């Protein structure tokens, strides 16, 4: 990977991440910031790379030293300044043309985020027709430079590749699904390649579509295919993810899919610049292995990863994520996950702390059941009630689980004398006590996932196969 190419990829990433009302200001700042970082990192390596050839990916010219390619890249920066209109000097005609271009692009992309992304990477121009009419045109930096040196005299449309380009991909997917009987769970006709616009979608605006699209989707890497049953989605800013799941970000690609080790767990993650997703229930359709919870038993991916989504993904219901901390943030209690509708039976849901009560309804009161009752009420009302805490403490009287009772009393002391109900927002003391209760049942959640949910998903899979064979 040459310095120039790496620079080009960095520019794409920084231009998506940074927002500015001025297209010209944003572009120049992006080049300047990226150039500074790249120079600092490579100056220490210059002595080792004196004999290397640094090639500019824009014009394909080669240079032997960093100083030479720096000087050359400065010329590109000056080109951007020349070809990108500054807001204060824009004419109304230019502003109208840029507005029209954005409108036309959005009609095609159906996503304002990807429209902005394209406009930040390309140079907007106006083409004049012989009849006096005009059209908007986007040029690459190299094309804009050539136009400045030698103006364009005509335009020729390039023929696109036929839409049947995915036929071979479908054939490869079908072949991969024949390696295990669980591959019959997939009806290929119900699947389509994922829309690339999803990777650039804003989390706050499109989180529901992101979650529902990923549930029921397929991850294909060569002959390996994984069916996602439940996917939890997180944003990239603190307001969207207070739990800090900001570890898997793409650098040069629109997305990255990986098995990430964190502590004793192996997490299957999908990361984009705008959001990330944690897969908490899945089936390896080429081996029959079922993974539940944050630990994924899938082997690492070795080939390029394709994502296939169901055409009827809108049927997938939303559900809560498995989070055991920071309950004083509203986003923690929000439903930001979806489950594949063919497995939308409560026994197939990975056990979250809010669903723990489903396994303890008919059991006698214990510390675990008290915690389950408390968090079930918390999810429904988003508040804690004083009378519920007193009732749970009374039911626990005489039980050996003193730690839960001790924590419940600590929660009760946070209430004022006349306070009957208490919200959690920004109440870190209450959040810390709730986390202590959640940590105490972590082992129970994992055991239920392993013993109950995994067996239920396998049984549901067998049922779906029998129904399919019967048809």
Q: Domain containing 313 — which CATH number?
A: 3.10.300.10
9 in the same domain as 126: yes
Q: How many domains does the chain have?
A: 3
The interaxial angle of helices 23-43 and 112-121, nearest 10 deg, is 70
- Do 32 and 84 share a structural domain? yes
Residues of the chain scoring pLDDT < 70: 1-60, 66, 69, 76-90, 110, 160-168, 244-247, 262-263, 298-300, 302-303, 400, 471
Helix (H, G, I), strand (E, B) or coil at 215: coil
What pLDDT score does 61 carry? 76
Q: Is residue 323 part of a domain?
A: yes
Give the pLDDT of residue 346. 92
Q: Are 169 and 191 spatial neighbours (Cβ–Cβ below 8 Å)?
A: no
Which pLDDT score is estimated for 461? 95
The answer to whether the CB of 66 falls within 8 A of the CB of 3 is yes
Residue 293 Ramachandran class (φ > 0 left, ψ -120 to 50 alpha, else beta): left
Residues 129 and 14 in one domain: yes
Instruction: Say whether both 266 and 127 belong to one domain.
Output: no
pLDDT tens digits, 119-130:
888 888 888 888
- What pLDDT is attached to residue 307? 93
Are residues 212 and 336 located together in one domain of the fold?
yes
Q: How far apart are CA 247 and CA 271, in angstroms?
A: 8
Q: 62-63 and 265-271: which strand pairing?
A: unpaired
> What local confidence, expressed as pLDDT, does residue 83 receive?
57
Let me know whether 132 and 212 are in one domain.
Answer: no
What is the per-residue pLDDT for 115?
A: 81
pLDDT of residue 47: 43
| Residue-number span of the structural domain to which 405 is assigned | 356-440
Tokens found for residue 32: 């300047």
Which among 29, 149, 3, 130 is positioned nearest to 139, based on CA atoms?
149
């Amino acid at each position: 990977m040459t310095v120039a190419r790496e620079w080009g990829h960095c520019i794409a990433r920084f231009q998506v991440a940074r927002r500015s009302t001025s297209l010209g200001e944003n572009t120049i700042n992006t080049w300047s910031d990226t150039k500074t970082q790249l120079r600092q990192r490579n100056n220490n390596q210059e002595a080792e790379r004196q004999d290397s050839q640094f090639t500019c990916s824009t014009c394909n010219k080669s240079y032997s030293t960093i100083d030479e390619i720096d000087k050359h890249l400065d010329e590109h920066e000056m080109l951007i300044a020349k070809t990108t209109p500054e807001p204060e000097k824009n004419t109304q005609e230019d502003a109208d043309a840029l507005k029209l271009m954005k409108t036309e692009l959005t009609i095609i992309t159906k996503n304002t985020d990807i429209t902005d992304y394209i406009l930040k990477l390309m140079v907007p121009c106006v083409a004049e027709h012989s009849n006096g009419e005009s059209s908007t045109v986007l040029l690459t930096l190299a094309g804009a430079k050539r136009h400045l040196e030698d103006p364009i005299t005509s335009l020729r449309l390039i023929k696109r590749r036929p839409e049947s380009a995915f036929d071979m991909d479908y054939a490869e997917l079908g072949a991969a699904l024949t390696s295990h009987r669980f591959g019959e769970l997939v009806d290929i006709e119900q699947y389509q390649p994922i829309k690339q616009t999803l990777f650039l979608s804003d989390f706050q605006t499109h989180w529901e579509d992101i979650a529902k699209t990923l549930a029921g989707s397929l991850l294909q890497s060569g002959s390996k295919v994984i069916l996602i049953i439940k996917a939890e989605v997180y944003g990239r800013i603190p307001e969207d993810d207070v739990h800090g799941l900001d570890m898997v970000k793409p650098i040069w690609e629109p997305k990255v899919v990986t098995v990430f080790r964190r502590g004793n767990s192996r997490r299957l993650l999908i990361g984009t610049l705008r959001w990330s997703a944690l897969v908490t229930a899945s089936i390896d359709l080429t081996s029959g292995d079922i993974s539940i919870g944050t630990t994924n038993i899938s082997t690492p991916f070795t080939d390029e990863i394709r994502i296939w989504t169901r055409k009827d993904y809108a049927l997938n219901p939303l559900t809560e994520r498995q989070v055991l901390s920071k309950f004083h943030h509203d986003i923690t209690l929000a439903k930001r996950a979806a489950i594949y509708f063919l497995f939308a039976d409560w026994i197939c849901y990975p056990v979250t702390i809010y669903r723990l009560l489903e396994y303890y309804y008919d059991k006698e009161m214990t510390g675990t059941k008290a915690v389950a009752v408390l968090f079930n009420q918390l999810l429904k009302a988003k508040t804690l009630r004083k009378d519920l805490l007193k009732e749970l403490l009374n039911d626990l009287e005489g039980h050996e689980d003193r730690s839960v009772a001790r924590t419940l009393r600590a929660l009760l002391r946070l209430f004022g004398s006349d306070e009957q109900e208490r919200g959690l927002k920004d109440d870190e003391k209450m959040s810390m006590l709730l986390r202590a209760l959640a940590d105490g049942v972590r082992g129970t959640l994992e055991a239920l996932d392993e013993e109950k949910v995994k067996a239920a998903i396998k049984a549901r899979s067998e049922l779906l196969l029998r129904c399919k064979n019967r048809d």
